[in-house]
Amino acid sequence: ENIGRSGAVDKRAREAGNINQSLLTLGRVIKALVERGPHVPYRESKLTRILQDSLGGRTKTSIIATVSPASINLE
């Protein structure tokens, strides 16, 4: 979430920052799994700790994304 564009302040801004950090960590975890890296950073966020069993091992994971071609959503 773009905190500046959303106008979030105080508690909501901190929450948005935490969400962004968790999503960045999720991206690093997925990258490490795809590249079969020696270290997968599951413990860097609560989200990736919760999803560890679902992401690792012999599981198959699907990710659903909601996207929009509207110019307001471009960064």
Neighbour tally for 40: CB within 10 Å: 19
Report which of 57, 61, 60, 55 is spatially closest to residue 42, judged by C-alpha positions.
55
pLDDT of residue 61: 74
Overall pTM > 0.75: no
Report which of 41, 1, 4 is spatially closest to residue 18, judged by C-alpha positions.
1
Whether the Cβ atoms of residue 17 and residue 36 lie closer than 8 Å to each other: no
pLDDT of residue 4: 66
Q: What is the pLDDT along the chain (75 residues), one digit of tens a residue?
A: 566 666 667 788 788 788 888 999 999 999 999 898 899 999 999 999 998 988 887 777 788 888 888 887 766
Distance in angstroms (rounded) separating the CA atoms of residues 73 and 70: 6
Dihedral of alpha carbons 47, 23, 12, 67, sign: negative
